[in-house]
Chains A and B, each alone.
Chain A
Amino acid sequence: MNNAESFAELPVAPKPPLRRFHQARWDEPIIFELSAPGRRGVAVPEPGAPLVELPGSVRRAAPPKLPELAQLHVLRHYLRLSQENLGVDLNIDVGQGTCTMKYSPKVNDRFAAAVAEVHPLQHDDTVQGVLEIYWRLERMLAEISGMSRVSLQPGSGSAAIYANIAMIRAYHAARGEGHRDQVITTMFSHPSNAACAKTAGYEVVTLMPDADGLPDIEALRAAVGPRTAALMITNPEDTGIFNPRIREFVDLVHEAGGLACYDQANANGILGITRARDAGFDLCHFNLHKTFSTPHACGGPAAGACGVSEDLAPFLPGPVVAFDGESYRLETPPASIGKVRPFLGVTPNIVRAYAWIMALGAEGLRQVAETAVLNNNYLMHKVLQIPGASAPWDRRRVEQVRYSWQELSEETGVHSEEIGVRAADFGVHYWTSHHPYVVPEPFTLEPTESYSKEDLDEYAAILAHVADEARRDPEFVKGAPYNQTVHKIDMTPLDDPKEWAPTWRAYVRKHLS
């Protein structure tokens, strides 16, 4: 039988409904293993100047053990690794749990590159343009959120949440109310809220959803009291359901003397439609990559923004940019919680977010929200046509949906995770970051404004195909992936610190010696 694919048959045959995808598998060594003594990327000439005299305390006894490679081999190494990847630039990236992926326009990278050589210790007078971008982005985010001041210092969304809880703690301490030791959150608020509150030493009170999938307001009424430091809540929650009584939630917490903090990491459903301050919130935060198009950067450096009301402004992390009408300078707020990361912020991402907002304008931002909500509801319509898929609570959704494969899983024994992995054989995926696992067999999809109707059709068709496979041949789905770089991953080493090797040095010590 001839299995060959046609080469020059014209016109080009139409593509099959599902992509005949196959991921690259380069079997690439770790870059340290590619090192050979004496190899160089650039032959650096002698400096022709006297060597700088370094104090003995900072001088290395031996050169650093960096890999030694030629330029071609460095380039090839990283290009190969990049082929073994499914980033937002390659796949229909609507399934990153609650990570929220959108397109980052490439032109913004060029603006970011323009500030790449600014040194963070340069004098204010020499970086007026950069400070102006910080100032203008802060004013735009203040307008978008309704808040008075915004810190752009945090290096990620969760760092912004942590900065917010640190400000809440400082605010109460400054008023002699340090006894407030409870933070209230909801089951479907992003779990970073509970995590940051706990890290900051708070006891966490989590409100469960009621029969309609909304946090129980009567439970909140019973929960608030003299120990309440704050409510930390996401809205729409990670179910995609918007809490229409959010103003009442905020009021109840205020009446008890607590603060209200709004997780707007993913603000794609509400940009230009509703504002945190208008609902009475005292603090809020954005993830610049989830909403304002900076690259996700896989753990950093990302960027987060903390917005606060006038009362909380003295506690902001420092420094912030001040503007007197003529020039920009750095200042530290009077009761600042200190730095949450070095220097002013992740400047390249500040520049990208600024460029993105400037390119869209106010009307464009609102259109982002409308498109994101439309995309989400279109995809939900397609997904709910797949037998075995459901969206618990049968309520209107905003920008994302936490779906369930419960029915399919009970019939076939195939778990949600396995369906996401099998989808990777078609060049897309979803991963199972849907904490807490309250919705059975969950999968969370959140198309932003970036995806086209054709993208969403393709994604839904892949899920439908895999669900059908699960009924016909569950073992086959459980054996997936087949067309991926890595086939099966054993997760158990992740739970064993003896196996962990975050650096080459640790790897050599733990596994090669």
Chain B
Amino acid sequence: MTGGLVVGLVVNPVAGLGGAAGLKGSDGADVQRAALARGATPRAGERAARAVRTLLSRRPGVRLVTVPGPMGEDGVRAAGAGCDLVHPPHAGPGSVTTAEDTRRAVRALAGVDLLLFAGGDGTARDVLDAVAGLGGQAPPVLGIPAGVKVYSGCFAVSPAAAGFLAAGFDGRSTAEAEVVDLDEEGYRRGAVGPRLYGSLRVPAARAALSGRKTGSSGTEPATAEGIAREVVARMRPGVRYVLGPGATTRAVGRALGLATTLLGVDVVELAPGGTAEAATGGGSAGGRLVAADVSEAELLGLVTGRPAVVVLSVIGGQGFVLGRGNQQVSPRVLAAVLGGRRGGDALGEVLVVLATQQKLAALKGRPLLADSGDDDLDRTLRGHVRVITGYRESTIYRMCAASEEYDG
């Protein structure tokens, strides 16, 4: 496949500035000035150029569209390539670019087939904001890793990999990838942990390797759908299931025939007369949405005094299960659900954790983390929890109180 594809590029020129300067991020003009004062040099443009070079060597017919100056054009020129320019309305004076500049640029490039952006998780959030405003007109996007914090799933593993992925994009096949970001203020204080902001459509990467020992047909086992089938198969009538945020928990809603939210906490149960078998068998009559996108207080009311199970997915690259993006599942909600259970299988009856094997493997042996806001409660959760990794597949994985892991 050659040509035809129109690829947009947005560079956050200040992405990555804070990293080398030890500032743990680059959000905000003050931090950027401090980084420059410490001798940091911008590198996002150079990393974008790397991706562009790879893209063009693999697919020379691609038409590039970007915005003038350091937010795109410079990177393309550094790659020795030509491009078309669009001119988003420029708000502020001076050479410092802001998050709003990123959003404006994304909106100005909305017509492309694929939008590459160079930056970090903060940039991804800005792209997410702009894309959300575009609705169905939004192009798929792909991140070129150039920031300090790159935990979001919408980034390629390297600039060259971004170029290869973009070159291989067929214009149609996309997948959903989560955008997470750390609170940099908290990160500088040592209270790390990403929260989930939403999801972006990215080009579907082919399986890392397609060679096979046997003609294994069908889907990869470790998909959100397989996990969702297992969760639904374990559901019992009369029990309320609290689905935390994330693409995996949303797949559980989908398996029940329910439109649950990506970012919110939803409460579901088996429909009257519905069975787990009906739901897993593809029947849509399996589930009932008790409440969508609930607040902490509403959630407490829904789970108090009746059997309930909390279903949470692992957020981001650091293993957080509790306390990032799911603050609705508060210490008192957990206490109501746990009802005095501690550790091991008893805990596993009411706290169900979901993750693909790949996501767990990416933790490289580091534990899952609980940061509910109540250290004592977090400590009752520590130990080994069952993590559902697929249909009739699970693992047992270590969970720690986040305070212990990072104070340790």
Q: Could you tell me which A residues sit within 8 Å of B by CB distance?
A: 97, 187, 194, 198, 203-213, 216, 218-223, 225, 409-413, 415-417, 420, 431-438, 440-442, 474-475, 491, 494-495, 497, 500
> Bound complex: CA of A209 vs CA of B213, how far in Å?
23
> Bound complex: CA of A83 vs CA of B135, how far in Å?
58
Contact of B366 with A by CB under 8 A? yes
Prevailing SS type, chain A contact patch? mixed
User: Which 6 residue pairs spanning A and B have beta carbons closest together?
Assistant: A211-B365, A222-B384, A432-B211, A410-B158, A413-B164, A433-B213
Which A residues lie within 8 Å of B160 (CB)?
A: 410-413
> Bound complex: CA of A491 vs CA of B392, how far in Å?
28
> Bound complex: CA of A475 vs CA of B396, how far in Å?
42
> Bound complex: CA of A75 vs CA of B12, how far in Å?
66
A-B contact pairs, 11 of them (CB 8 A): A187-B361, A204-B392, A204-B393, A204-B394, A206-B393, A208-B395, A211-B366, A225-B345, A410-B160, A437-B358, A494-B215
Please count how many residues in chain B sit with their CB below 8 Å of the partner chain's CB atoms: 40
B396 in contact with A222 (CB, 8 Å) = yes
- Min CB distance B170 to A, Å, is 13
Cβ-closest chain B residue relative to A497: B217
Instruction: Answer whether A211 and B393 are a contact pair too, CB < 8 Å, given A222-B384, A411-B158.
Output: no
Q: Could you tell me which B residues sit within 8 Å of A by CB distance?
A: 54, 57-58, 157-158, 160-161, 163-164, 207-213, 215, 217-218, 222, 344-345, 357-358, 360-361, 364-366, 383-384, 386, 389, 392-398
Given contacts A97-B213, A198-B393, A437-B208, list 8 more A-B pairs with CB under 8 A. A194-B393, A204-B392, A208-B357, A208-B397, A212-B365, A219-B395, A411-B160, A413-B163
> Bound complex: CA of A221 vs CA of B397, how far in Å?
11
Cβ-closest chain B residue relative to A431: B211
A206 in contact with B213 (CB, 8 Å) = no
Instruction: Answer whether A437 and B209 are a contact pair too, CB < 8 Å, given A208-B360, A211-B365, A497-B217.
Output: yes
- Min CB distance B262 to A, Å, is 26
A205 in contact with B208 (CB, 8 Å) = no
> Bound complex: CA of A441 vs CA of B208, how far in Å?
7
B208 in contact with A415 (CB, 8 Å) = yes
B357 in contact with A187 (CB, 8 Å) = yes
**Per a CB cutoff under 8 Å, which of A208, A221, A413, A417 touches B209?**
A417
Cβ-closest chain B residue relative to A493: B215
**Per a CB cutoff under 8 Å, which of B161, B357, B365 touches A410?**
B161
Which A residues lie within 8 Å of B164 (CB)?
A: 413
Instruction: Answer whether A438 and B396 are a contact pair too, CB < 8 Å, given A410-B160, A494-B215.
Output: no
B217 in contact with A495 (CB, 8 Å) = yes
Cβ-closest chain B residue relative to A413: B164
Cβ-closest chain B residue relative to A191: B213
Which B residues lie within 8 Å of A210 (CB)?
A: 365
Which A residues lie within 8 Å of B161 (CB)?
A: 409-410, 413
Which B residues lie within 8 Å of A194 (CB)?
A: 393
> Bound complex: CA of A412 vs CA of B344, how far in Å?
45
> Bound complex: CA of A412 vs CA of B158, how far in Å?
9
Which A residues lie within 8 Å of B394 (CB)?
A: 203-206
> Bound complex: CA of A491 vs CA of B360, how far in Å?
28
A219 in contact with B397 (CB, 8 Å) = yes
> Bound complex: CA of A222 vs CA of B344, how far in Å?
6
Cβ-closest chain B residue relative to A201: B392
> Bound complex: CA of A132 vs CA of B210, how far in Å?
46
A475 in contact with B209 (CB, 8 Å) = no
A221 in contact with B211 (CB, 8 Å) = no
Which A residues lie within 8 Å of B361 (CB)?
A: 187, 208-209, 438
Instruction: Answer whether A211 and B364 are a contact pair too, CB < 8 Å, given A206-B393, A416-B209.
Output: yes
> Bound complex: CA of A416 vs CA of B393, how far in Å?
28
- Min CB distance A382 to B, Å, is 23
